[in-house]
Structure 1
Amino acid sequence: MQTEAIDTAGARRRLRIERRSIDYVPDAERHGKVINQGPFWFLGNFQFFTIAIGFIGPGMGLPFGATALAGALGILFGTIFMAFHASQGPDLGLPQMIQSRAQFGYRGVIVPLLGTLFTFAGFNVVDTVLLSQGLHNLYGWSIVTVSLALAIVAIVIAIYGHDWLHLIFRILFWISLPLYVILTAAIATGHVPGKPPAHAGFNWVGFAAEFAAGASYNITYAPYVSDYTRYLPRAKFRTGLVLSVYLGASLAAVWLIALGAWLATYLGAQDGLVATNAAGNAVFSGLGTLLVLTSVAALTATMGLNAYSGMLTVVTAIDSLRRIAPTRAIRIAGILFIAALWLAVSLSLTANAINALYDALSIMLYLLVPWTAVNLTDYFFIRRGHYAIADLFSSDGVYGDWGWRGLTAYAAGFLVSVPFFNLAGLYEGPIAKALGGVDISWAPGLLVASLVYVVLARSLDPASEAAAISASDKILAQY
């Protein structure tokens, strides 16, 4: 009975506004289950934004089957890099970008932080525009009112923080899952009428483009993962955690990309929200509305996810310039800053700006790929998960102000990718042009950044780091 009372009190404390932000999570505050990571990351991809990824192949003349296969292969590949970040959270008890100070330095981490800030704010701009335009087209709702309402809900979720995000995602997972099962089963059994395309044949350009879109889609989740696993208890093995994240994030995306490919191929759909509504209502009246509302709820919750991780990025950047205390007030201020940023950009855009928004998603990938390559290479192959955590919070620590090895590898990975870039109407690299416009910049970026970092890391001093780790462990033992 006493244990139950302690657990109940702990649960009540966790469902208040979160106290921590970029600071270390001690063992006494660790909680949660590995198995819950699956539904959490599943819901992150279980909305109409993912459906739209399936429109790419058919838009380039690729048939349904080839599009679904290319999207699945791309997702299964890209999620590998995302999922392996999961083990860093419970091992270190830190947000993702604080841990990156080990590779880039106490102040040098600002370089990849610019990329992650662009990602978190950029996704919320894209989500706001797509949701507000879609709901306006479907129901005539005011774009400004919808944008403000979405922002308010996302802000509240992010302010309450980590445990509320996990709770809301689990609830929406169980609400959304049966609705999409019904829709998918209806399509598979011919209860949603569709017309086969007159002309569709396999082409490598469309296949490669769909694969690249799938691969990049989940790679952009890499800076998030540790933020939502850092409260988990420590464990000797992390295979289950990595697998749970991998399956959750990949299965949802593979499923909905295939669904999107069918909607684009057989219904000629061009808007994910409108197409989902039409297909659902073809099964029975009202299903389309339910699917739209649950998809909107899932994407709004994901906006809260972006606001939360964006806050961690902002607070990390400020702390890298001037040491601050990670209080609740700082958390809330960081969230409001991110919200003001994405709202200002969103409300200045129109439906005609959607192409520019998708270019912004490509830029996110360009900025994040060399970072994830350096971070994972360091964690799994160089330092093997052993870090002086206390030194990550000091400019005088063993990792220094500017991590020249990480910064050099990041720059090399980015620069070698430039000839592969393809930003519609802005820039098309010579190699992208030779490939028919297909952007595979993530591949050389990952490879070169990793290899350069491995070579440069040979000059690290293991003895000084071992002494720093020992001293750090003594400090952490006092928590």
Structure 2
Amino acid sequence: MAGLVELRSIDVVPDDERHGSAFSQFTLWLGANLQITAVVTGALAVVFGGDVVWSVIGLLLGNLLGGAVMALHSAQGPKLGLPQMIQSRAQFGVRGAVVPLLLVIVMYVGFFASGSVLAGQAVGELTHTNDTTGIVVFALVTAITATVGYRVIHTLGRVASVICALAFVYLGIRLLDRADLGTLLQDAHFSLPMFLLAVSLSASWQLAFGPYVADYSRYLPRTTSAKATFWWTLSGSALGSQWSMTFGVLVAATAGERFLASQVGYVVALGGTGLVASFIYFVIALGKLTVNVLNTYGGFMSMVTSVSGFRGQRVLSRRGRTAYIALIMVAGTAVALLGKDSFLTAFKDFLLFLLTFFTPWSAINLVDYYLISKERYDIPALSDPGGRYGAWRWDALVVYGIGLLAQLPFLVTHFYTGPLVDPLGGADVSWIVGLVVPALLYWLLARRTTAHTPERATDALVA
């Protein structure tokens, strides 16, 4: 067990500890996306008014576009050997990176909570208790797995990718036995707002992985091809999410109110009774465990990165690691218990609102890494507020703020709708604005000076 427990946190992974191949990204992200929350996300496209055919096409487009952005972040991991948000200090400053980091932590807590609601129902059924007990048990298992760390996370991904894939094949066959696929495919009445909602739902799903995707590729050997890392990440994440979301579209189109009343209960009943039902409950819990461990691990990394920027901390003890993970678990569990009775509507708004905060960060990060710094970072300076990147990089922070504000006129959520939404027929295009505007502004500003860009990458460890 001692050899399994991860020792690294925000420090660079040295070459002699690197291992694995780019294919590991495929199994991890396939397993993380073959799960009940992705099913619910796909179902939302129909629940809120979309048709079957154009919802599936819109979800596919969003998964490919958002997945490509997410996979570009993944390709940074083998090159730098760092967690994703640590290298955001190169854009925002050693302390300035705390601005997007605080929002990232909120995201992780939110996804932990939303995942725990659905997984808690499954665990409650498996243990013959109730949803509340199921949520608490699930949270404890998640925290223990995240504490062990990187190796067990990838092992979990490999197991989940196989078991969940087999379960989804079985559930798909059962669904098509009940439904008339020909009739469903005739349900095609194009509506631009509903189509863009489907694109936004899946794009936001993919983009939300961006702030931590490199955390799970940073142990790959430095010689790992960036193209291989990109394509295996994209293919695993897009395939898994599209598979789940398409299933969700078909379930919502055929089940309607029965699915809305109990998402987990309906999917299990679709599978069968007795031992089969127990297996489906287990699959739901396993799929959610995979992605919730990623959220907990990413949240812990982000909290350490935030605190260490002010404390100068470069390494973390096992006790400290456990404490940070416990904080994420307690916060996520509390939110899950408070919000478990109004999950569906709240989750849709949560996804779309989160998107407004992470598209500008993603745009700035990718432009800086690939176009400005050209993959050259001074790694020791990422821990030095007085170094090359400084404590606060106000140019990037201002661009980030502009990116946030630029989206508001185009944003559609339950609690706020922008003034330019009606002229667009009710379509939400805020995420497109949130990528394009800050990317262009940051490129125009950052290319005017080379002060923050080393002539060559500096690979010395920060630890």
TM-score, scaled relative to structure 1: 0.89
Structure 1 position 298, deviation (Å): 1.3
Moved over 4 A (4+): 133-140, 193-200
Q: Does 1:191 align with 2:177?
A: yes
Distance 2:237 2:200 in 1: 17
Q: Please list the CA deviations of residues 265-306 of structure 1 after superposition, one character each: whole Å capped at 9, or x if unmatched.
A: 12223243223213222xx86444422321221102221111
Q: What corresponds to 2:302 in structure 1?
A: 313
**Residues 131 and 52 (structure 1), Cα distance of their counterparts in 2 relative to 1, 3 Å cut:** same
Q: What corresponds to 1:96 in structure 2?
A: 84
Q: What corresponds to 1:401 in structure 2?
A: 391
Distance 2:226 2:304 in 1: 28
Q: CA contact under 8 A between 1:86 and 1:241: conserved in structure 2?
A: yes
**Residues 40 and 345 (structure 1), Cα distance of their counterparts in 2 relative to 1, 3 Å cut:** same
Bigger CA drift: 402-411 or 371-380? 402-411
Match for residue 232 of structure 1 among 210, 220, 225: 220
Q: What corresponds to 1:119 in structure 2?
A: 107
Q: What corresponds to 2:435 in structure 1?
A: 446
Match for residue 31 of structure 1 among 11, 19, 25: 19
Q: What corresponds to 2:446 in structure 1?
A: 457
Match for residue 293 of structure 2 among 289, 295, 304: 304
Q: Please list the CA deviations of residues 181-240 of structure 1 after superposition, one character each: whole Å capped at 9, or x if unmatched.
A: 2222444xx423469589873322222211111111101110111100011001263111
TM-score, scaled relative to structure 2: 0.92
Q: What corresponds to 2:263 in structure 1?
A: 272
**Residues 137 and 422 (structure 1), Cα distance of their counterparts in 2 relative to 1, 3 Å cut:** farther
Q: CA contact under 8 A between 1:192 and 1:279: conserved in structure 2?
A: no
Q: Does 1:128 align with 2:116?
A: yes
Q: Does 1:147 align with 2:135?
A: yes
**Residues 432 and 184 (structure 1), Cα distance of their counterparts in 2 relative to 1, 3 Å cut:** same
Distance 1:235 1:360 in 2: 38
Structure 1 position 246, deviation (Å): 0.2
Structure 1 position 433, deviation (Å): 3.4
Q: CA contact under 8 A between 1:40 and 1:166: conserved in structure 2?
A: yes
Distance 1:185 1:465 in 2: 54
Which protein shows a greater Rg?
1
Q: What corresponds to 2:211 in structure 1?
A: 223
Q: Please list the CA deviations of residues 294-345 of structure 1 after superposition, one character each: whole Å capped at 9, or x if unmatched.
A: 1221102221111111000010111011122422222111101111211222
Match for residue 69 of structure 1 among 44, 57, 64: 57
Q: CA contact under 8 A between 2:22 and 2:224: conserved in structure 1?
A: no
Q: What corresponds to 2:407 in structure 1?
A: 417
Identity fraction in percent: 32
Structure 2 unmatched ranges of 5 or more: none
Q: Please list the CA deviations of residues 63-110 of structure 1 after superposition, one character each: whole Å capped at 9, or x if unmatched.
A: 322221111111111101000111111100100010000000000000
**Residues 352 and 183 (structure 1), Cα distance of their counterparts in 2 relative to 1, 3 Å cut:** closer
Q: Does 1:165 align with 2:156?
A: no
The letter for the 2-side match of 1:451 is L
Structure 1 position 408, deviation (Å): 1.8
The letter for the 1-side match of 2:350 is A
